Chain A
Amino acid sequence: AQSVTQLDSQVPVFEEAPVELRCNYSSSVSVYLFWYVQYPNQGLQLLLKYLSGSTLVKSINGFEAEFNKSQTSFHLRKPSVHISDTAEYFCAVSDQGAQKLVFGQGTRLTINP
């Protein structure tokens, strides 16, 4: 069975500061990894994904995540956050591509001015 652990339920940071949201996974098979973002009163939007190849993946809005197989981690980072990044972030794993995702419990990112 697969599982995902997001180590921080809440992360408060100041605007323009760097941030790291931690994610560890457990799986007995090859996995695909995802980060989704959920803004208030909205559904989930895909932020970035690791399927294969380069272990460092990047999104169009400055986030990046690195797949570390030995540490079974997929931490999300951004060098400088903006107020608009305030949201809930979910790490997810799947052994079926983008289908049937197993999500972590989420990390609430709060940006203070």
Chain B
Amino acid sequence: DAGVTQSPTHLIKTRGQQVTLRCSPKSGHDTVSWYQQALGQGPQFIFQYYEEEERQRGNFPDRFSGHQFPNYSSELNVNALLLGDSALYLCASSVFPPDLNSPLHFGNGTRLTVT
């Protein structure tokens, strides 16, 4: 049973460029959330997708956008990259509606470096 898979594992981009990160949820999960973890910090919630729609959003600018596909996989897009966007981006999957006894399952993340 595959868990949450993310690609690529590492990525280096230049300031001003655009980037797309990908996530496949754990088998049986239909909801995908994205978190940004800056170096030395805890993860911060970016947004959550269910039924191909953004359901909740954290305090991130519109440069951060996402998409969910019919197979429940998801993409995170970041436009006009800033140096401060350098971070580990974590994808987490779960079931909907939220089940108190069903924890989020996290992937190993994509390490994005903006130079």
Interface residues, chain A, with chain B CB atoms under 8 Å away: 4, 6, 32, 34, 36, 41-46, 49, 51, 90, 92, 96-106
Residue of A nearest to B45 (CB): A100
The answer to whether A101 touches B41, judged by C-beta atoms less than 8 angstroms apart, is no
Which of A4, A97, A102, A106 has most chain B Cβ within 10 Å?
A: A97
The interface size bin for chain B is 20 to 34
**Assembly CA distance A1 to B103 (angstroms):** 22
Q: Decide yes or no: A97 and B45 within 8 Å by CB, A42-B108, A43-B109 being known contacts.
A: no
Which of A42, A51, A90 makes the CB contact (< 8 A) with B43?
Answer: A90
The docked-state distance in angstroms from the alpha carbon of A45 to that of B90 is: 12
Give the one of B31, B100, B102, B108 with max A CB within 10 A: B100
The distance in angstroms between the C-alpha atoms of A100 and B104, with both chains bound, is 9
B46-85, CB under 8 A of A: which get 1 and which 0?
Answer: 0010000000101000000000000000000000000000
Collect the chain A residues with CB atoms within 8 Å of residue B92's CB: 44
